[in-house]
Structure formats: structure tokens, C-alpha cells
Structure 1
Amino acid sequence: MSTKLITIVTPCYNEEQNVRELYRRTSAVMTQLPGYKYQHLFIDNASSDGTVTVLREMASGDPQIKVIVNARNFGHLRSPMHAFLQAEGDIVGILYADLQDPPELFIEMVHEWEKGKLIVAAIKNSSAENGVIYRLRTAYYRLVARLTSVEVMEHFTGFGLYDRKVVDILRQNFHDPYPYFRGMIAEIGLPTAKVYYPQKRRERGITKNNFYTLYDLAMLGITNLSKVPLRLVTFAGFVSALVSFFLGVFYLIYKIIFWSGFSVGIAPLVIGLFFLGSIQMIAMGIIGEYVGAIHTTTLNRPLVVERERINF
């Protein structure tokens, strides 16, 4: 049997403090898998620090380090997906550059792959991040699981190991210019093994996630996997119309019976207007998310534009 190639894909953005240590630890892990060849593919998303300089130095000393440098920052979803599709390995791993996920887990992942699992997903069973944030993430994953018919893995970030067959399926059948990788993995439904680990707190550098990126990812997960929110909007519209109709009939009858003594006043009118207005705003927001997703898809733009390739 020919020697299998493992390609580890690492997305980077302003990670000059971490990439050397990440590569050192990953290389040490791969020496414990003597039956495999190893290649490390870094994709830099137009870092503004010295990340590209460090990667260039690393690549000059090791031909198995390959680097893609993007022309600009294409976001935290498009750049990793592009690198994943460029990977040459018989097995492809995803490992983020922040060192919160342990490269040492790849040994266990490879053993699971050898058992015939085409996807080996690394799942956080605890996290050193704020406890409230971790519980909010848990609640979000459970909400998505209720809204969709596919199995969505809780606390799965993409860190894992994937058979070549998975890469080929994603390349041939998914052409989303704004890809939700976790949703794609859930959608294809191939045999999956799960390995668990406690996620560490970031030690060097600062997180690139903020409220907008987290909200963007959360809404993308819902709109990519489920139409339930759209149907809830329709249902809410029917319920609101029904309630308004019966209230109108009630006030009409009450006014006819107590014509002289009953004064509705302006408060119910104002409350009703604000209630209906808020429902309309929520409905427009939900519909807008789906329209935005359709707009992004119809533009059919490339995932990234590359500025440079090193060691290819």
C-alpha cells in the first residue's frame, strides 16, 4: 500500500506570534505517525502584521510547508474553504492558528480514520472561555438542531480530519461563494467519528472574532440549514392578523353595547401599532437574511483571489 499524505490546512490572519509554535507542535505530532507523509498548507488572509514574513522564512527551510497569500482579507469563511479545496492530501486536516485546539489530537483522529471513518470531528467538551459565552453557544447549537433535519454537531468548529472523498464531494457539489463549512459537513452525512477535547484560552495575540462575525456565523448557520424561520414569519403574520381581528370585533361589540360610557383611548392603539411594527421589522429582517444569501450566491464570486503561492 502506498504511503498516504496528510495535509494540514491552517488559516491565518495576524498570527505571527503563533505560526512557528503551531508548526513545531504539528511536525512533532506527525513524527509519531511514521506510515504517513506530511504537508502543511497555510493560507494568509492579508495579515497586517509579520505573519507572511514568518511563513516565508518557514517555507524556505521546509519544502513541505506551502503558503497561499490572499490579495485582500476575504473573511473568516471563504479563506479557509479555499485552502481546504487546494489541499492535496489523501487525508486533510483543519487546524486553526490560535493554538486553542491541540495538534496532538491528530494522532487519535488518524486512528479513527484508519477504522473507516471518512470524517473525524473534534468536539469541544469544555472551554476556557467565558462560561456564559460557552452556554450561549450550546443554546445556539440546540436551536439550530431543532430548526433543521440534519445532524448538527455541538461545539464543532471545523477542527478535524477529512478523507479525500469528502474534499472531492465538497469541490464537485458545493459551489457556495460564502460557505458555511460546518453546515456542509452536516449536510453530506458521511460516517463521522467524534473525538473530544477541552479548548484552551488563547495565549498569544488577540481573537479576530467580534459581535458581527459571531452574529454573521450564527445567522448563516440558520439560513443555510433551515427554512423554518421563514415559515415562522408566515405563522406569526397569521396569528397577529387573527388576534387583531378578534380584538377589533370585541371592541366594536363592546362599544355598541356601552356607547356612551366606553372610551377606548389612544393607549391600545399605540401599543397595537408598536406590536405590529415590531413583528414587521423582525419579519423583514429574517426575509432579508435569506434574500442576502440568495444575492451572494447569484453573484458567484470566487472564494478568494490569490496574490502569491509559495512552495507549490
Structure 2
Amino acid sequence: MKTISVTIPCWSEEKSVRQMYDRLMKVFQEKLPQYDYEIIYVDDCSPDNTRAEIRKLCQEDKKVKAVFNARNFGFNRNVFATMQYGCGDATFLIFGDLQDPPEELPAFVKEWEAGHMVVVGQKVKSRESKIMYSLRTLYYHLIGKLSDSGQIQHFNGFGLYDRAFIDVMRQIEDPNPYLKGLVSEFGMGTKILQYEQAESNRGKSGFNFMKYYDVAMLGITSYTKILMRVATFLGALLGIVSICLAIFVLISKLLNWGAYPYGTAATLVGVFFIGAVQLFFMGILGEYVLSINTRSMKRPLVVVGEKINFESTEVRKGEGAI
């Protein structure tokens, strides 16, 4: 009998922990009775009663397991660590706020059994605000154009991953991984299933502007080179224009020495324009340097504070222990 590991990254999900379990159990009992399962909740130091709710489930069902991080390590690191805890033939990654429907699992399993190592969900419609959805669409188009490898639009990690793919993920030594890019890069034979995303049970997103910015810049600095090359080309172009302008001004001044006044407005505009371009690309360069600095530290993804219902106390590569 094949085993499916359901891994669930959580943060402030006290309202949906029980609902997630009930809906998953219904799926396994009614539509996937031929598969064994394990359900693993991974809490990234929630400030509410999420851990208490998970503990109750672990006491009721030994196939429900829990991993509690020692502190909050952030969305990207926790999600990437979460998908590596399962020991099944395939790992189903679903987020704890129930925006992504667990009822899609049978469709994912069908495609997996058909030979696809990676089956991911792509949002075609979302209950979030139209402005946010439009901004996401714009970002995906942008990074799709800039990245070296194709990116899956409106994909957040929700999907079913074969054990072979998970083993590849365990070999990646990156303390700040970008899962969406890694799936696009290493997910050979990826199958995309479309679905409609529901509203978060949390009610309010745990992301603010800076967290969205961090995720966006992680994707850009991890999988694009073109911005730095644009800086090089633009710098060269501005240099050529400046030389031509300097030659023009010199000739004009020699021919019209006393009657060739130049106002300060044009000079100020030029200085501010060049300064703005320099500052913009210095910021981009800083993001790349910050990304390189973070990855060179070789830090563990997360530090695990407690595990429940795991038979082995072995800590997988990529996680710390206290």
C-alpha cells in the first residue's frame, strides 16, 4: 500500500486545524481508501492557540504528527522545510489556512499515478482583492520574462510531489530557498491542475508589504540576471550619450563663445536623472549582495523545538535541533 504524506505549514491557524483534518479524512476515507497516509502539521511559532489544537489531534490520531519550530523562521524557510518531513511515496503540500482545497488531492494523485513526478495547483481565480490578484499577475509576468527558467504563474507550492523529487529538494543547501523557482527548475514532467482559491480561514493575511517585498525580491535575485545586465547596458548607453553631449557642448561653446548661455535647469535635470538611475541599480545590486550573503552563511532552514508522534528522533538534513 502506497503512503501519502500530507504536510501542512501553519501560522495562526487555530480556526482551521480541525477543519483541515476533517476534510482530509473525508477525502482519504471516501476517495482514496487504497492509500495509507500521515498528516504532518508544522507550526512556525504561532501567537495563537494553533499548537494546542494540533496537540489535541495528535492525541486522538497517531497518524497526525506535529513539528513545532523553536521560533518564527518566516514563510519561505518554513514551507521548504515542511515538505521534507514526510516519509511517504508522495508528499502533498497544502497550506493551513484552507485557501487551497484538500478535496483536489484525488485529482493530484490520479496525475501522479499516471507518471507525473510533480503535480501542482495553479490558481485561475481567487477570493482575495482584485488589486492584489492583479499585482500578483503582473509580478508573475515580470519574473517570467526576466527569469532564466520558466516560472509557473499563480503557483504557491500547493501540490503533490513524488518522493524522488523530495529527495532532490533535500540535497539543496540553501538557507533561504525560493520554492516556486526550484519547482520550475527541477520539476521534470510537471503537471499543472487549475483550481479556484478560497478565502483564507485566518481572515487577515499574515503578510504585510515588506514580507511581500521580501518574497518578490527573493524570486528576482534567485532566478534573474537581466536586471544587472540592464544596469550595465544602460550605464554604457548613458556614458555614450554623455560623451556625445560633451563633444556637442564643447564645439558649440567654441563656435559661440560669448552667446551660448546654458541654463541650470537642464543641468539639474540631467544630474537628478543620472543620480536616480544610479541609486535604483545600487539598490538592485544591494539585493543581490544581500541574497549572496544570506546563502553563504550555511545556516539551517529552521530549528525544531518539538516533534510529536514521530517514531524516529532523527533530524533531517536542513533542520536544526535544540
TM range (shorter): over 0.9
Q: What's the CA shift for 1:152? A: 0.8
Distance across 2 between alignment mates of 1:202 and 1:10: 14
Find the residue that maps to 1:156 and give its secondary structure: coil
Greater shift in the superposed pair: 136-145 or 60-69: 136-145
Structure 2: segments with no counterpart, 5+ residues: 311-322
Q: What's the CA shift for 1:255? A: 2.1
Q: In 2 relative to 1, CA 132–206 (structure 1 residues): closer, same or farther, beyond 3 Å?
A: closer
The one-letter code sitting in structure 2 at the alignment partner of 1:149 is: D
Distance across 2 between alignment mates of 1:192 and 1:34: 25
Give per-residue Cα distances to partners, 1:123-178, cap 9 Å, x unaligned. Answer: 00111212222122112112111112312111011000000000001112x11100
Which residue in the other structure is 2:268 paired with? 270
CA contact (8 A) 2:8 2:94 kept: yes
Give per-residue Cα distances to partners, 1:84-115, cap 9 Å, x unaligned. Answer: 11211111011001111100001100001010
CA contact (8 A) 1:15 1:205 kept: no
Which residue in the other structure is 1:25 paired with? 23
Distance across 1 between alignment mates of 2:269 and 2:188: 51
Which residue in the other structure is 1:68 paired with? 67
The one-letter code sitting in structure 2 at the alignment partner of 1:233 is: A
The one-letter code sitting in structure 2 at the alignment partner of 1:47 is: S
2:166 maps to 1:167? yes
Q: What's the CA shift for 1:250? A: 1.8
Distance across 1 between alignment mates of 2:88 and 2:79: 16
Q: What's the CA shift for 1:203? A: 3.9
The one-letter code sitting in structure 2 at the alignment partner of 1:235 is: F
The one-letter code sitting in structure 1 at the alignment partner of 2:237 is: V
Distance across 2 between alignment mates of 1:22 and 1:107: 16
Q: What's the CA shift for 1:218? A: 1.0
Give matches, 1:1-312, under 5 Å: 3-31=1-29, 32-172=31-171, 174-312=172-310
Give per-residue Cα distances to partners, 1:197-234, cap 9 Å, x unaligned. Answer: 11112244321111111111111111111211111111
Number of residue pairs matched by the alignment: 309
Find the residue that maps to 1:149 and give its secondary structure: coil
Compute the TM-score of the two structures, normalised by the length of structure 2.
Answer: 0.93
Q: In 2 relative to 1, CA 267–139 (structure 1 residues): closer, same or farther, beyond 3 Å?
A: same
Distance across 1 between alignment mates of 2:28 and 2:252: 80
Distance across 1 between alignment mates of 2:2 and 2:28: 12
Find the residue that maps to 1:85 and give its secondary structure: coil
The one-letter code sitting in structure 2 at the alignment partner of 1:132 is: I
Find the residue that maps to 2:161 and give its secondary structure: strand
The one-letter code sitting in structure 2 at the alignment partner of 1:190 is: M
Distance across 1 between alignment mates of 2:133 and 2:12: 25
Distance across 2 between alignment mates of 1:250 and 1:62: 81
Distance across 1 between alignment mates of 2:183 and 2:231: 28
Q: What's the CA shift for 1:48? A: 0.9
Distance across 2 between alignment mates of 1:207 and 1:189: 29
Greater shift in the superposed pair: 109-118 or 77-86: 77-86
- Provide runs of 4+ in structure 1 moved above 6 Å: none
Give per-residue Cα distances to partners, 1:241-267, cap 9 Å, x unaligned. Answer: 112112222222222222222211211
Structure 1: segments with no counterpart, 5+ residues: none
CA contact (8 A) 2:77 2:177 kept: yes
Distance across 2 between alignment mates of 1:198 and 1:33: 22
Distance across 1 between alignment mates of 2:260 and 2:197: 64
The one-letter code sitting in structure 2 at the alignment partner of 1:262 is: Y
Q: In 2 relative to 1, CA 189–10 (structure 1 residues): closer, same or farther, beyond 3 Å?
A: closer
CA contact (8 A) 1:17 1:205 kept: no
Distance across 1 between alignment mates of 2:247 and 2:199: 59
Distance across 2 between alignment mates of 1:157 and 1:7: 18
Q: What's the CA shift for 1:286? A: 1.1
Distance across 1 between alignment mates of 2:175 and 2:211: 17
Distance across 2 between alignment mates of 1:63 and 1:159: 24
Aligned alpha-carbon RMSD (Å) = 1.1
Distance across 2 between alignment mates of 1:310 and 1:189: 31
Distance across 2 between alignment mates of 1:15 and 1:297: 30
Q: In 2 relative to 1, CA 219–311 (structure 1 residues): closer, same or farther, beyond 3 Å?
A: same
Distance across 2 between alignment mates of 1:40 and 1:72: 22
Compute the TM-score of the two structures, normalised by the length of structure 1.
Answer: 0.96
CA contact (8 A) 2:7 2:85 kept: no
